[in-house]
Amino acid sequence: MTRSRILVVEDNSDNCDLVRFLLENAGYQVLVASTGSQGLSIAGREMPDLILMDLTLPVMDGWTAASHLKADPKTAQIPLLALTAHTLPGDRQKALEAGFNGYISKPINITKFNDAISYALLRKEKDAT
């Protein structure tokens, strides 16, 4: 089985390091981007199995990048999770409307984080069969 590739779009380097550490520890291959537009171009080029994206990002924010990813048939099927401290009910709704398939709240709870990743990847495999 090939290792799943996960793209992390996060401008805060501490958060990015933590997420990368957790994912690599769990055996995933990690790609990183630090702005929404960089995230978009890497996603289109690398076609990762899953994208984790912060919402407050420079150049292009996460909501805008999400709408672009979901509007492009090439990247629309890639599961997309928001990585966010914005977890008020309205923020959650706004993220889902922008095209996110779910979200992971910051600060990160390691057990919940690992579960959310496995679940998103599993659902993707099921959809593909």
What tokens appear for 3 in the block?
């290792």
Give residues with Cβ within 8 angstroms of 100, minimum separation 6.
Answer: 53, 66, 80, 81, 82
Shortest CB 84 distance to Mn ion, Å: 9
Mask of contacts with Mn ion, 55-74, x by CB under 5 A?
Answer: -x------------------
Smallest Cα–Cα separation from 86: which of 68, 112, 102, 106?
Answer: 106
Shortest CB 120 distance to Mn ion, Å: 20
List the one residue from 4, 7, 8, 11 that touches Mn ion (CB under 5 A).
11
Is 100 within 8 Å of 82 (Cβ atoms)?
yes
Nearer to Mn ion by Cβ, of 4 and 80: the residue is 80
Shortest CB 57 distance to Mn ion, Å: 5
Shortest CB 74 distance to Mn ion, Å: 25
Is 124 within 8 Å of 101 (Cβ atoms)?
no
Nearer to Mn ion by Cβ, of 4 and 95: the residue is 95
Is 75 within 8 Å of 69 (Cβ atoms)?
yes
Amino acid residing at 87:
T
Binding residues for Mn ion restricted to 28-57, rule: CB under 5 A: 54, 56
> Residues touching Mn ion: how many (CB under 5 A)?
3
Instruction: Enumerate binding residues for Mn ion (CB under 5 A).
Output: 11, 54, 56
